[in-house]
A and B are shown apart, each in its own frame.
Chain A
Amino acid sequence: MNDLWAGLAEALRLVLRLDPDLVEITLRSLQVTLTATAIAALIGLPLGAWLSVNRFRARRMVIALLNALMGLPPVVVGLIVYILLSRAGPFGVLGLLFTPTAMIVAQVIIITPIVASIAHQAIRDLWSEYHDLLISLHTTRAQRIKALLWDSRRALLTAALAGFGRAIGEVGAIMIVGGNIDHATRVLTTAIALETGKGNFALALGLGFVLIALAIAVNLALHMLTRTERSSQW
């Protein structure tokens, strides 16, 4: 219990002092995670919509695979991305290993199935509601996907936030591909792992509380920006 109070005190101290290291790794955490979430949303949301409105032979298998990939082990993703980006790997020439870009790549792979799968569930329900209307209005497939994406935007925000939540707390993959290099690839989660290993529990907990506060702040900010949960809004 004392460790928890010490952790809270440390978190307050770090925030009030605007510790430069804390600000740096917090901003990097945000940069990596928000970029990964945006890319995953750009891929996952249209993919979810496309799967909802299209019927093809392997559709069920693709959906089952997508759902299964939601539980993709981050360490394995990290390992695969590491091998692909290492000097001997096919993308080694790009020199991306141990950079924030490599961390973004790993996170995109981890969270895209989550975003796509949740989006698919939401859009599938809306598609069954809109089906007759959109067919009656003689819409093209692109017009249907556009309408479904726009009208389920609140649910899609939840999908994106679920991806963000998974990414901001992720440590295994980004530790492997980022290397937790100070002033280069260190983020909140890898810093917590490092401080825990060093036995600095108060600092690790402090960073942990900052991470939780950050996740809550981003969620609240997005909800306020998109005006969800208002009685007269969808």
Chain B
Amino acid sequence: MVASILPLSLDGVVLRKRGKHILGPVSLELGATGCTILLGPNGSGKTSLLRVMHGLERVREGRVGWAVPLEQARRKQAFVFQTPIVMRRSIVDCIAYPLLLDGQSRVAARAQAADMADRIGLHGDLTRPAFVLSGGEKQKMALARALVRAPELLFLDEPSANLDGRSTREIEAILHALKADGTRIVMSTHNVGQARRLADDVLFLNEGKIVESADTTTFFNHPATPEAQAHLKGDLIP
């Protein structure tokens, strides 16, 4: 039995960059299952919070804690960026890269990457350079790369922000399947409809702070704060 890296707990975390306050203080605990959606206006701190949780930002105030040692926790989580980072390699080699880091042989890593590409719905010649893919395909490729190590926890930063409706639907279908398979998902989005479709619980952020935290039904039917009410109505937040 492999130990779970969750729960993840943040205790009084504050993020500052060049003296400017970006996030916090934030305290929360993420359980082992479900899909948590971070909602909020531009600049509310959604991306920063995801980056802090994943360890992309160095926190000097507060504490980020895992159920296992940090080294172990980092290997069992993955991050999908808003703009997919496309390596200058073939599609299959982009997806296989994390496996090569783990010491797998190139042949085995490519075979596993091809299998993951197929599961994610990325078809066609995988030996093409990854830059030839469309925006939606690049995001699928990034998702396949994130999933190829079978992470327990997946962070996604507005993964469908730049995609059309069809690509967004495909990404959401993949996320639904992941949820069903037990992958813990934490995702930021601007899209209230997408949040309704995917979320089990919602963290609503404004000006770098979590102003509301609730399960999906409560949040969308009875938002408690004026900021969340305004956001859900499409109004500008005061």
Chain A residues close to B by CB (< 8 Å): 126, 129-130, 132-133, 135-139, 143, 147, 151-152, 232-234
Contacts and interface: CB of A to CB of B under 8 A. Distances in A.
Given A132-B56, A132-B81, A232-B132, A138 B75 contact: yes
A152 to B, nearest CB: 7
Contacts of B132: 232
B122 to A, nearest CB: 18
B85 A151 contact: no
A143 B85 contact: no
Nearest to A126: B88
B73 to A, nearest CB: 10
A153 to B, nearest CB: 9
Contacts of A129: 85
B19 to A, nearest CB: 19
A192 B190 CA distance: 69
Contact of B97 (A132, A135, A137, A138): A137
A136 B56 contact: yes
Contacts of B81: 132-133
Interface string B78-111: 1101000101110000000110010000000000
Interface in B88-140: 88-89, 97-98, 101, 128-129, 131-132
A232 B97 CA distance: 20
B54 interface: yes
Contact of B89 (A133, A138, A143, A151): A151
A151 B87 contact: yes
Nearest to A136: B79
A136 B75 CA distance: 9
Contacts, number: 39
12 contacts: A130-B87, A135-B55, A136-B54, A137-B101, A138-B101, A143-B101, A151-B88, A151-B89, A232-B132, A233-B129, A234-B89, A234-B131
A212 B184 CA distance: 62
Contact of B56 (A135, A147, A232): A135
B22 to A, nearest CB: 16
B196 interface: no
A-B residue pairs, 10 tightest by C-beta: A151-B88, A133-B85, A234-B88, A136-B79, A138-B74, A137-B98, A135-B56, A151-B87, A143-B101, A234-B129
Contacts of B78: 136
A232 B90 CA distance: 10
A56 B62 CA distance: 26
Given A137-B101, A234-B88, A234-B131, 15 more contacts: A126-B88, A132-B79, A132-B81, A132-B85, A135-B55, A136-B54, A136-B78, A136-B79, A139-B101, A147-B87, A147-B97, A151-B88, A151-B89, A152-B88, A232-B129
Chain A CB within 10 Å, residue with most, of B54, B85, B129: B85
B9 to A, nearest CB: 20
Chain B CB within 10 Å, residue with most, of A130, A137, A151: A137
A49 to B, nearest CB: 15
A139 B88 CA distance: 17
A129 B131 CA distance: 14
A132 B55 CA distance: 10
A132 B79 CA distance: 9
Interface string B8-47: 0000000000000000000000000000000000000000
Contacts of A136: 54, 56, 78-79
Contacts of A152: 88
A154 to B, nearest CB: 8
B85 A130 contact: yes
Interface in B179-203: none
Contacts of A147: 87, 97
Chain A CB within 10 Å, residue with most, of B55, B97, B129, B132: B97
Contacts of B88: 126, 151-152, 234
Contacts of A151: 87-89
Contacts of A233: 129
